[in-house]
Amino acid sequence: MPLYFRSRMPATLGLCFLTNDVDAEDAAQMTHEIDIYKELRRTLRGAAGSLLTGQADGSLGPAWDVFQLSASGNREAVVSAFQRDSAVEAFTVRPIGLRPLATYQVISVDGGVLGEAIGAELMATGISVVGSSYSAAHILVLKQTRTPD
């Protein structure tokens, strides 16, 4: 279900389901994915996007398709990573344009808080994203928690 809702078109949520055919478990998963989108909406509304991997196409392209949306002022970013090749189990995502000395909390919408690091470290060493049986669509939120003194 997450792969259906986590669009490669940033800030877009739009699907059509016949609700008579949706059981309670699927309805709960849909509600969860819509809640994720609502939480990210504020950041996505005025964000600028950047590809973090090569351009994906129908048959070729990177094993992971990754893009970043950054809110004005680079205080918050949303990184979406789509696993295209199940043989490549992990990928290091290197966000761009973060404030080098600011501290960011890294949050996975599926796994919760992953940790904190300064922007320079995140941009240089990156964040490891590992394939999951839950979904091939991963969303990371980078929230600035502290600014340098």
List the pLDDT tens digit at each of the 149 positions of the chain: 555 555 555 555 556 666 677 788 888 887 777 787 877 777 777 788 898 988 776 667 788 889 999 987 778 999 998 888 888 888 999 999 999 999 999 999 888 999 999 999 999 999 999 888 777 888 899 999 988 76
| Residue showing tokens 């999951």 | 132
Number of domains in the chain: 2
Length of the chain in terms of residues written? 149
Same domain, 135 and 74: yes
Same domain, 37 and 63: no
Of 48, 52, 40, 6, nearest in space to 143 by CA: 40
Same domain, 38 and 53: no
Contact (Cβ atoms closer than 8 angstroms) between residue 117 and residue 43 = no
Residue 37 phi/psi, 5° resolution? -60, -45
Nearest-Å Rg of the Cα atoms of the chain is 16
Domain containing residue 40 = 2-44
> Which CATH number belongs to the domain containing residue 136 in this structure?
2.60.40.1180
Same domain, 78 and 138: yes
Same domain, 59 and 40: no
